[in-house]
Amino acid sequence: MHKVKTAVCFVIFLLITVGMGVSVFFSVRGDTEADYVVETNAFFAPFEFYENRKIVGVDVEIVNRVAEKMNKKIQIKNVEFDVIIDNVEAGRIADAGAAGLTITPAREEKVNFTIPYYASVQYVIFNRDAPPSMRDDHVVWEALTGAKLGSQIGSTGYIFIDDEIKNGVLSGTGTTVRGIDSHQLAADAIGAHIIDYAIADELAAKFIVDKNPELGALPLYYSGPTRAEDYPVEESYAIAVNKERTELLEVFNEVLAEMLTEDANGKTEIDKLVLRYMGLTNE
């Protein structure tokens, strides 16, 4: 009797193991056939985000267009934002990075950038009960003096804050910055009183504020000599390509040039895609 019981247990265990093995095998099959790998961080709507567990968005459309043009298979992989540049530089597991990456001099030393395809502005996210002092419709860096700031680690928001604290308008003011996993978590950190304000890219900030009525967001400006001369903290997105994959860079540039051509109404394909993935139009 005891032997039978042991045998039954063993057979059940074997069946489960084989079943699980088959399921892993099927989930693995698609992974191995790509010619190129493009890395992204899928928490940056409308440029890349999960929709029913598939990564979609404007950057994905660009990559698909490139794959079509080269007649190659390109796999899009989700990774943490702050490792993308290093992985693309090394070129061993990734050939390119499409993640709303801003062109910065430090990054340009490591990778080649395509032509910029989108201009964005940095936004300050704050609790409506405790907003920073505003200048008309924007916030200037000086208004953040002494505050606890947060931003997605490795993002341009974080780089900008870090720069200002180290050798900019916020240096020596006791302002601190905290690198947080994602824009979303930075926004949640305001609610939890971990930080006072979060800094994020325009579209990401707008998505967050839209769904959280207690939060507000305003563009971040450098202060000029007069109020009218304040200018926004701007940046432009481009796709990072490994320095040895020049053929890939060329096709990316061709595709982007096509997609940035204005139609009769003065709208580019990229603009339309942004609107579509923000759920604002059905085009």
Partner 1 sequence: MNDFFSKIVELFNTPEYIDSLLHGFWLTIQISYFAILIGILLGTVIALVGAAKPSKWLAIPKFICRFYTTVIRGTPMALQLFIMFFVIFAIKGFPSIITAILAFGLNSAAYTAEIIRGGILSVDKGQAEAGMALGLSRITIFIKIVAPQAIKNIIPALGNEVITVIKETAIVGMVGMYDLNMAAKDIGSGQNMASYIVPMFVAALFYLAIIYLITFAVKQVEKNLRKSDMKAEK
Shortest reach from residue 22's CB to partner 1, in Å: 11
Residue 51 and residue 33: Cα distance in Å, rounded? 23
Query: What part of residues 158-187 is at the interface with partner 1 (CB under 8 A)?
Result: 182-185, 187
Quick one: which of 106, 159, 102, 136 has its CA closest to 219?
A: 136
Three-class DSSP labels, 62-85? HHHHHHHHHCCCEEEEECCHHHHH
Residue of 59, 61, 164, 188 that binds partner 1 (CB under 8 A): 188
Q: Does 3 bind partner 1 (CB under 8 A)?
A: no
Q: How many residues does the chain have?
A: 283
* Measured distance CA(271)–CA(67) in Å, rounded: 21
Stretch that binds partner 1, among 16-24, 109-117, 125-133, 149-157 (CB under 8 A): 16-24
1, 4, 71, 92: which one contacts partner 1 (CB under 8 A)? 92
Shortest Cβ 219–partner 1 spacing (Å): 18
**Of residues 135, 144, 141, the one with CA closest to residue 228:** 135
Q: Does 210 bind partner 1 (CB under 8 A)?
A: yes
Q: Which of 6, 23, 145, 246 binds partner 1 (CB under 8 A)?
A: 23
| 113 near partner 1 (CB under 8 A) | no
Query: Residue 194 in contact with residue 187, Cβ under 8 Å?
Result: no
DSSP letter string, 95-128 = SEEEEEEEP-HHHHHHSEE----EEEEEEEEEET
Query: Which chain residues interact with partner 1 by CB under 8 A?
Result: 16-17, 20-21, 23-24, 27-28, 31-34, 37, 41-43, 45-46, 49-50, 52-53, 75, 77-80, 83, 87, 90, 92-94, 182-185, 187-188, 191, 204, 207-208, 210-212, 279
